Structure 1
Amino acid sequence: MNSMHSVWTKRFEHYIGEVMKYMRFVFTGHIAIVFVFIIGAGGYQYSEWLKVVQNDFPAEWLVAILVGCMLALSRPITLLKEPDQVYLLPLESQMPQYFKRAKNWTFWSQLLAPAVVYIVTIPLLKEVTELTMSQIWLGVLFVALLKFLNVRSEFAYRYVNRGQAILMDRIVRAVISILAIQTVLTDGIFAIVFLIMLAYYVGTLHKKMKNQPVPYEHFIKLEQNRMLRFYRFANYFTEVPHLKGSIKRRAWLDIAYKWIPYKKGNTQAYLVFRTFIRTDDHFYLWVRLTAISAIIAMFVNIPFVTWIVAGALAFATTLQLKYALLSAGEFRMDMLYPVPRETRNQAVTKLLRLLAVKQAVIVTVCAMMQPQFFIIPIVILLVSELTIRLSK
Structure 2
Amino acid sequence: MNIEQLFSDRRQAFWNVSIRYIRLMANSGLMAAVLALILIIGLYYQNFLDWLPQDFPVLLVLTILFAYMLTRSPIRTFFQSGDLVYLLPLEAKLDRYTRQAQVYSWTIQSAVFVFVLFLFGPLYIDRLSPEFSHLLMTIAVFLVAKAWNIQAQWAELRSQYVANQWKLKWLRFLINLVFALFVLMVEPLFVLVLLLLMGFLLAFYYRPKMKNHQLKWDQLIELEEQTLNSFYRFANAFTDVPHLKSRVRKRSMLANQWERLHNKSSNTYVYLYGKTFARSGDYFGIFVRLAIVGALLVYATPGEWQWLAVAISVLFTYITGSQLVTIYYHHRTIVWPDLYPVHQHVREQSVQSFVRTLMAAQVFWLTLITGITSMSVAYAMMALFIGLLLVIFYAQVQVPKLFRSTAS
The residue type equivalent to 1:177 in the other structure is N
Correspondence for 2:206: 205
Correspondence for 1:226: 227
Q: Alpha-carbon deviation of 1:176? A: 1.5
Alpha-carbon spacing, 1:15–1:333, altered in 2? closer, same or farther (3 Å): closer
Correspondence for 2:188: 188
Correspondence for 1:348: 351
- Contact 1:162/1:218 (<8 A) preserved: no
Alpha-carbon spacing, 1:170–1:257, altered in 2? closer, same or farther (3 Å): same
- Contact 1:59/1:128 (<8 A) preserved: yes
| 1:5-24 alignment, distance < 5 Å | 5-24=4-23
How far apart are the structure 1 equivalents of 2:256 and 2:80? Answer: 43
How far apart are the structure 1 equivalents of 2:148 and 2:394? Answer: 49
The residue type equivalent to 2:150 in the other structure is V
- Contact 1:157/1:163 (<8 A) preserved: no
| 1:284-303 alignment, distance < 5 Å | 284-301=285-302, 302-303=305-306
How far apart are the structure 1 equivalents of 2:317 and 2:275? Answer: 22
Please state if 1:311 is matched with 2:318. Answer: no
Alpha-carbon spacing, 1:264–1:222, altered in 2? closer, same or farther (3 Å): closer
Please state if 1:388 is matched with 2:391. Answer: no
Q: Alpha-carbon deviation of 1:326? A: 7.1
The residue type equivalent to 2:251 in the other structure is R
Alpha-carbon spacing, 1:181–1:248, altered in 2? closer, same or farther (3 Å): closer
How far apart are the structure 2 equivalents of 1:52 and 1:265? Answer: 51
The residue type equivalent to 1:191 in the other structure is V
How far apart are the structure 2 equivalents of 1:170 and 1:222? Answer: 16
Correspondence for 2:382: 375
How far apart are the structure 2 equivalents of 1:12 and 1:266? Answer: 45
- Of stretches 33-42 and 50-59 in structure 1, the one that deviates more from structure 2 is 50-59
- Contact 1:55/1:129 (<8 A) preserved: no
Alpha-carbon spacing, 1:105–1:273, altered in 2? closer, same or farther (3 Å): same
Q: Alpha-carbon deviation of 1:165? A: 4.1
- Contact 2:159/2:213 (<8 A) preserved: yes
Q: Alpha-carbon deviation of 1:227? A: 0.6
Correspondence for 2:261: 260
- Contact 1:257/1:273 (<8 A) preserved: yes
Give aligned pairs, total: 390
How far apart are the structure 1 equivalents of 2:255 and 2:88? Answer: 49
- Of stretches 95-104 and 250-259 in structure 1, the one that deviates more from structure 2 is 250-259
Alpha-carbon spacing, 1:132–1:353, altered in 2? closer, same or farther (3 Å): closer
CA RMSD of aligned residues (A): 2.8
Please state if 1:275 is matched with 2:279. Answer: no
Correspondence for 1:363: 366
Alpha-carbon spacing, 1:29–1:349, altered in 2? closer, same or farther (3 Å): closer
Alpha-carbon spacing, 1:129–1:320, altered in 2? closer, same or farther (3 Å): closer
- Contact 1:236/1:285 (<8 A) preserved: no
How far apart are the structure 1 equivalents of 2:15 and 2:315? Answer: 29
- Contact 1:37/1:305 (<8 A) preserved: no
TM-score by length of 2: 0.84
How far apart are the structure 1 equivalents of 2:284 and 2:310? Answer: 24
Equivalent in 325, 328, 335 of residue 325 of structure 1: 328
Correspondence for 1:74: 73
- Contact 2:360/2:391 (<8 A) preserved: no
The residue type equivalent to 2:397 in the other structure is L
Alpha-carbon spacing, 1:99–1:355, altered in 2? closer, same or farther (3 Å): same
Correspondence for 1:152: 151
The residue type equivalent to 1:80 in the other structure is F
- Contact 1:303/1:373 (<8 A) preserved: no
The residue type equivalent to 1:269 in the other structure is V
Q: Deviations over 1:346-366 (max 9, x none)?
A: 333333332122211222233
Q: Deviations over 1:99-151 (max 9, x none)?
A: 11100001010012222222333333333345633333211111111111111
| 1:120-139 alignment, distance < 5 Å | 120-129=119-128, 132-139=131-138
- Contact 2:30/2:238 (<8 A) preserved: no
- Contact 2:273/2:327 (<8 A) preserved: no
- Contact 2:246/2:280 (<8 A) preserved: yes
Q: Percent identity?
A: 24
SS at match of 1:349: helix
- Contact 1:250/1:278 (<8 A) preserved: yes
Alpha-carbon spacing, 1:343–1:220, altered in 2? closer, same or farther (3 Å): closer
How far apart are the structure 2 equivalents of 1:326 and 1:88? Answer: 35
